Amino acid sequence: MTFRELNFCDALLDGLDAMRFEEATPIQEQAIPVIQSGKDLLACAQTGTGKTAAFLLPVLNELTVNPQTTVNTLVLVPTRELAIQIDQALEGFSYFTPISSLAIYGGRDGDAFNQEKKALQQGANVIIATPGRLISHLNLGYVKFDSIKHLILDEADRMLDMGFVNDIKKIITFLPKNRQTLMFSATMSPKIKQLTHKILNKPASISLANSRPAEGISQGAFKLPEHLKMNLLTYLLDVQKTQKEKMLVFASTKVKVKQIRADLSRSGLNAAEIHSDLEQDERREVLTKFHNGTVQVLVATDILARGIDVKDIDLVINYDLPSDPEDFVHRIGRTARAEAKGSALALVSPKEKRYFQNIERLIQMEIPILPLPPFMVKLVEEDKKNPRPKPKSKKFGKGGSYKKKRGKKASKG
């Protein structure tokens, strides 16, 4: 189905044409008519399927046909990165319309807070907000949401995982009861079902989520000792760098992300890092450089697994496997977006065997085990002949017990 078949106004279609949006994705094709009908909606679809356009386009069309000077739509999201992404998408879609919008999120200075306050008071048509930041405004008493017609919860499962359920419930008390509520989630957990019963009114339901990667992702895995992962990672990235591909590497912790980025940079690779220790302006700068190709390799924690839409990521490498197999699906979903092609590789150590099995069980497919390059085979064989010594266990307990023992020993001599 094309977007022209969805009865959008000319101004919105002009924006879609400028962005080269022609064919609707399955979630867009199913969700947009439901939203246009005015029904509440619970939509379950994986990352990268086009959920943002699915909920924004019908709202923007309504606002273009029937202009409003007050706040019409509130979009709640779990992270500042997703808020920025949705606001940017909205700006593109509505370029030829008079619609106004603002993203509201924390981590910025007082001037930004004042700008948000002004937009809330004067009535930007669409507000995209993280729950905590929005509550900061609501608590000050100047926000009036009487005119809101649409409440949209994007990445609802992520918001609940991050502990925002009470914030969401509080925000809803400021909204009119007579509204349309749209909930988009990548998974259908018991928590999501409970929230659905509380805030949605006889919703239509769409489910395209089967916890399986997009068909355009070519997958593979390497099995090797943990301490040899960096050797293989450097080799894999070095092979790809001449093709000017965008490559994304996921690691489990901020400390490991920093170490990997440093090691890659020392090896001559153009790498950057992104994690929660960076300030918002620093994250935005890194993402901009990655987006325009100034940075070729981005090493990240799961902060980048959802809600970040960087186009044309060619390769995703899981340096560490996540303990939650759903996170694996979200990670590799950063490539092959919007029916494009991409590759995803996993580096699997012996201690991650169970994680790997859980991932295969979830996605209902076997991930091919790829042969190691000859130099890596040699390193693995040498490692078997000369295994690394196991870390020595501590003789003493934690804290005071160790100090007491050491103190006694010192007192004797």
With cut-offs at 50, 70 and 90, classify the pLDDT of residue 349.
Answer: very high
Q: Calculate the average pLDDT of the chain.
A: 87
CB atoms within 10 A of CB 29: 18
283 or 299, which is more confident?
Answer: 299
Structure confidence at residue 133 (pLDDT): 94
391 or 219, which is more confident?
Answer: 219
With cut-offs at 50, 70 and 90, classify the pLDDT of residue 150.
Answer: very high
With cut-offs at 50, 70 and 90, classify the pLDDT of residue 403.
Answer: very low
With cut-offs at 50, 70 and 90, classify the pLDDT of residue 401.
Answer: very low
Kindly give, in sequence order, each residue whose CB lies less than 8 Å from that of residue 202, ignoring residues fewer than 6 positions away.
39, 40
From 75, 78, 29, select the one nearest 54 (Cα to Cα).
Answer: 29
* CB-based contact 343:315 (threshold 8 Å): yes
| pTM exceeds 0.75, yes or no | no
Which class does domain 3-207 fall in?
Answer: alpha beta
- The tokens for 341 are 């092609």
Q: CATH second-level architecture of 217-385?
A: 3-Layer(aba) Sandwich (3.40)
When pLDDT is averaged across residues 52-77 and rounded to a whole number, the result is 95
Structure confidence at residue 361 (pLDDT): 85
Q: What is the largest CA-CA distance in the chain?
A: 90
Please check whether the two domains, 3-207 and 217-385, share a CATH topology: yes
In the chain the first and final C-alpha atoms are separated, in Å, by 85
What are the structural domain ranges in the chain?
Answer: 3-207, 217-385
Report the distance separating Cα 264 and Cα 230, nearest Å. 9
From 230, 295, 304, 308, select the one nearest 269 (Cα to Cα).
Answer: 295
- The tokens for 412 are 């004797």
Pairing status of strand 41-44 against strand 180-185: parallel
- The tokens for 125 are 């048509």
% of the chain surpassing 90 pLDDT = 59
Structure confidence at residue 339 (pLDDT): 66
**Beta strand spans in 4-48 (E):** 41-44
- Range with lowest mean pLDDT among 79-88, 249-258, 275-284: 275-284
Could you report the per-residue pLDDT of 157-177, keeping only the tens digit for each? 889 888 899 999 999 999 999
Q: Count how many Cα atoms sit within 13 Å of the Cα of residue 359 in the half-sphere of its side chain.
A: 27
